[in-house]
Chains A and B, each alone.
Chain A
Amino acid sequence: MADVITLTYDISPDDFTRAGEASSDVKSKLKQMGVPPEAIRKVSIALYEGEINMVIHAEGGRITVEISPQRIYMVLADKGPGIPDIEKAMQAGWSTAPDEVRSLGFGAGMGLPNMKKYSDEMNIETEIGVGTTVTMSVNIA
């Protein structure tokens, strides 16, 4: 038996109808695994925020989720524009989302703050013009 189950999802850009597919698939698998509801809630909220971010800002990317009985480790990697000022981006309510995105009800400036809030550990690596990789983990036990 392997120690981790690895799931990968390619996130397509500008497709809001498909945004959320990765997080809901992960959610259903965690439920089948019998992961405590609170951990599932944290993963699904954090991952959905990340997924939406990739659709809005980064022209898609790839999400890799590693599930082990101890924790859920998520890597969200994109080749987008990068985040110029992480400190600002982490502030609640600060947003660079364009108007058409806001009109869909997204872009309230809570993406990264919520990802931080609902994960037990989060790390951002970003380079302007190269891309951003966000890693998050949620502990099960």
Chain B
Amino acid sequence: MDKFYHSVRLDASLCRGCINCIKRCPTQAIRVRNGKAQINSKFCIDCGECIRICPHHAKTATYDSIDVLKQYAYTVALPAPSLYSQFNNLEDTNIVLNALKLMGFDDVVEVSAAAEIVSEATRQYLAEHKEQMPVISTACPSVVRLIRVRFPNLIPHLLPLNPPVEVAACMAAEKAMQETGLPREKIGVVFISPCPSKVTYSKAPLGTEKSQVDRVLAIKDVYPRLLSCMKTVGRGDVEEIGVSGKIGISWGSSGGEASGLFSDSYLAADGIENVIRVLEDLEDQKFTNLQFVELNACNGGCVGGVLTVENPYVAEVKLKRLRKYMPVARSHMEAEHEAYVPWTTGVQFEPVFRLGDTMMESFSRLEQVERLCRRLPGLDCGSCGAPTCKALAEDIVRGEASEKDCIYWMRENLHKLSREVTQLAQDMAESGKEKSGKLPVLMDYVRQISSEITYLDSRVQEPGSEEEQEETT
């Protein structure tokens, strides 16, 4: 699988070419070219911010439809901890788990149960690797992807353990094969996900060669059907399926993973902009004596995923109520789990933001960017299709855009052209060689062009000349 595989994509038919997404993208991965947005697959980390902001719903997440269950002889659902936070007055996770079975799954393995095993393994890792501190959580695939392209110095600090969804998938596959005797390919391990980032993970995981997650459904797709199944379950006897406690359930919202480490020396940041700020500071070693850093790309943590239904902050409250009377943890590391937890491959730095192929080329391009930035208006208006003037300058030196894409630049050029044509016409009139009588017509056209540019000037403000404009109007 392509190491820059993505689940966040563009539906070009819906894109109107506005600048909302280019402005919001935290890695400046989107440009508007020829009236349509384009996502740079090397810069994109599948955080889903553009899906949130796009007013035309042109950004979409790819995930599987519920029909994929038919492709397997036996299916296992892996509900994310955040799934439980989507329902009102849920007192027992078993209602959700039984409803999943009623919906057509043959078995259910809770991701929150696997999370408790990962918490246990993390505690052990922290105790044994004091030199790696602060250790950075690797549960959010967007955060790992961000570090991979932008924070090479922090790669050694990544927690080299599989995320709970992967551990749950390994457990589910093994259990299903043992219980049914079916070969692995007839078994469908299906994650019910709060975000597209996990779709990316299942197709092109970091830290492990191949994910055991076969399919990924969106919480928002499963939600309506699950709700009606839950009503049916609620009336009968509820089978005891759930094997997770407070720690596992808590992973669904920001700070939950860290709280399972029984340490006060942690930091938990959520929301991609905040995550970037923390990573920048970590890189400059601004934090001392910090054991663990939990980072979630979405506001509020996984409950804020773009494929969820409920408001993330309301969801967090629901999660808190649900776990209130639960035991601390109900799943523990057993010998058979040990192989599922550690990473089997490392994460390699991908220097995608480099301006050129060699350092000399990059150096010379950086110099060109600096020079271009001084000439561009510095308004970051986005009209050129790049999020900032600096981003346009970078595109120009990479050969992907032109100075002409800047409307201020173009206006300046038009002024220059009109001055030159005026001069030319005047010269011709004065030399008296032009006899056809068309010269007055030409001069009239030139006057019209000039007045229209002047009108444009009054509409499109000159950068940094606010006061002058106010005086003239």
Query: Is there an interface contact between A44 and B349, defined as CB atoms closer than 8 Å?
Result: no
Question: Which of A23, A33, A45 is the one whose CB lies under 8 Å from B355?
Answer: A33
* Interface-facing stretch out of A34-42, A54-62, A88-96, A127-135: A34-42
B354 within 8 A of A: yes
Interface of A is mostly: helix
Query: Is there an interface contact between A45 and B285, defined as CB atoms closer than 8 Å?
Result: yes
**Nearest A-chain residue to B287, judged by Cβ:** A105
Query: Is there an interface contact between B353 and A2, defined as CB atoms closer than 8 Å?
Result: no
**Nearest A-chain residue to B370, judged by Cβ:** A5
In the complex, how many angstroms separate the beta carbon of B156 from the nearest chain A beta carbon? 10
> What string of 1s and 0s marks CB contacts (under 8 Å) between A77-98 and chain B?
0000000000000000000000
Give complex CA distance A68, B153 in Å.
Answer: 21
B367 within 8 A of A: yes
A64 within 8 A of B: no
Query: Is there an interface contact between B153 and A33, defined as CB atoms closer than 8 Å?
Result: no
Task: Knowing A24-B280, A44-B283, A48-B286, say if A31 contacts B359 (CB, 8 Å).
Answer: no
Classify chain B: how many residues form its interface, as a range. Answer: 20 to 34
B-side contacts of A48, CB under 8 Å: 284, 286
Question: Which of B152, B283, B358, B366 is the one whose CB lies under 8 Å from A32?
Answer: B366
Query: Is there an interface contact between A32 and B353, defined as CB atoms closer than 8 Å?
Result: yes
In the complex, how many angstroms separate the beta carbon of B368 from the nearest chain A beta carbon? 9
Query: Is there an interface contact between A35 and B359, defined as CB atoms closer than 8 Å?
Result: yes
In the complex, how many angstroms separate the beta carbon of A130 from the nearest chain B beta carbon? 30
A-side contacts of B366, CB under 8 Å: 5, 29, 32-33, 67
Query: Is there an interface contact between B363 and A5, defined as CB atoms closer than 8 Å?
Result: yes
Question: Which of B354, B355, B360, B370 is the one whose CB lies under 8 Å from A69?
Answer: B360
Query: Is there an interface contact between A31 and B286, defined as CB atoms closer than 8 Å?
Result: no
B-side contacts of A67, CB under 8 Å: 363, 366
> What string of 1s and 0s marks CB contacts (under 8 Å) between B346-361 and chain A?
0001010111101110
Give complex CA distance A47, B359 in Å.
Answer: 22
Query: Is there an interface contact between A37 and B153, defined as CB atoms closer than 8 Å?
Result: yes
A13 within 8 A of B: no
B150 within 8 A of A: yes
Query: Is there an interface contact between A32 and B360, defined as CB atoms closer than 8 Å?
Result: no
> What string of 1s and 0s marks CB contacts (under 8 Å) between A8-36 and chain B?
00000000000010011001010111110
Query: Is there an interface contact between B283 and A1, defined as CB atoms closer than 8 Å?
Result: no
Give complex CA distance A45, B282 in Å.
Answer: 10
In the complex, how many angstroms separate the beta carbon of B149 from the nearest chain A beta carbon? 10
Query: Is there an interface contact between A44 and B356, defined as CB atoms closer than 8 Å?
Result: no
Task: Knowing A1-B364, A1-B367, say if A32 contacts B284 (CB, 8 Å).
Answer: no
In the complex, how many angstroms separate the beta carbon of B353 from the nearest chain A beta carbon? 6
Give complex CA distance A129, B394 in Å.
Answer: 43
Give complex CA distance A45, B354 in Å.
Answer: 21
**Nearest A-chain residue to B354, judged by Cβ:** A34
Within B332-378, the residues touching A (CB, 8 Å) are: 349, 351, 353-356, 358-360, 362-364, 366-367, 369-370
Give complex CA distance A140, B358 in Å.
Answer: 14
Task: Knowing A33-B354, A34-B359, A45-B285, say if A2 contacts B367 (CB, 8 Å).
Answer: yes
**Nearest A-chain residue to B281, judged by Cβ:** A20
Query: Is there an interface contact between B283 and A69, defined as CB atoms closer than 8 Å?
Result: no
B-side contacts of A35, CB under 8 Å: 359
Give complex CA distance A29, B351 in Å.
Answer: 13
A-side contacts of B354, CB under 8 Å: 31-34
Query: Is there an interface contact between B150 and A23, defined as CB atoms closer than 8 Å?
Result: no
B-side contacts of A5, CB under 8 Å: 363, 366-367, 370
Query: Is there an interface contact between B359 and A69, defined as CB atoms closer than 8 Å?
Result: yes
In the complex, how many angstroms separate the beta carbon of A68 from the nearest chain B beta carbon? 8
Give complex CA distance A45, B369 in Å.
Answer: 25
What are 28 inter-chain pairs, A to B, with CB distance below 8 A? A1-B364, A1-B367, A2-B367, A5-B363, A5-B366, A20-B284, A23-B284, A24-B284, A27-B280, A27-B284, A29-B366, A31-B150, A31-B353, A31-B354, A32-B366, A33-B359, A33-B362, A34-B351, A34-B356, A34-B358, A34-B362, A35-B359, A37-B153, A41-B153, A44-B284, A48-B284, A48-B286, A69-B360
Q: Other than the known A31-B351, A34-B356, A48-B284, what 18 A-B pairs have Cβ atoms closer than 8 Å?
A: A1-B364, A7-B370, A31-B353, A31-B354, A32-B354, A32-B355, A32-B366, A33-B355, A34-B355, A34-B358, A34-B359, A35-B359, A38-B153, A41-B153, A44-B284, A48-B286, A68-B363, A69-B359
Enumerate the 3 nearest inter-chain pairs by beta-carbon distance, A residue then B residue, closest first: A37-B152, A34-B354, A34-B362
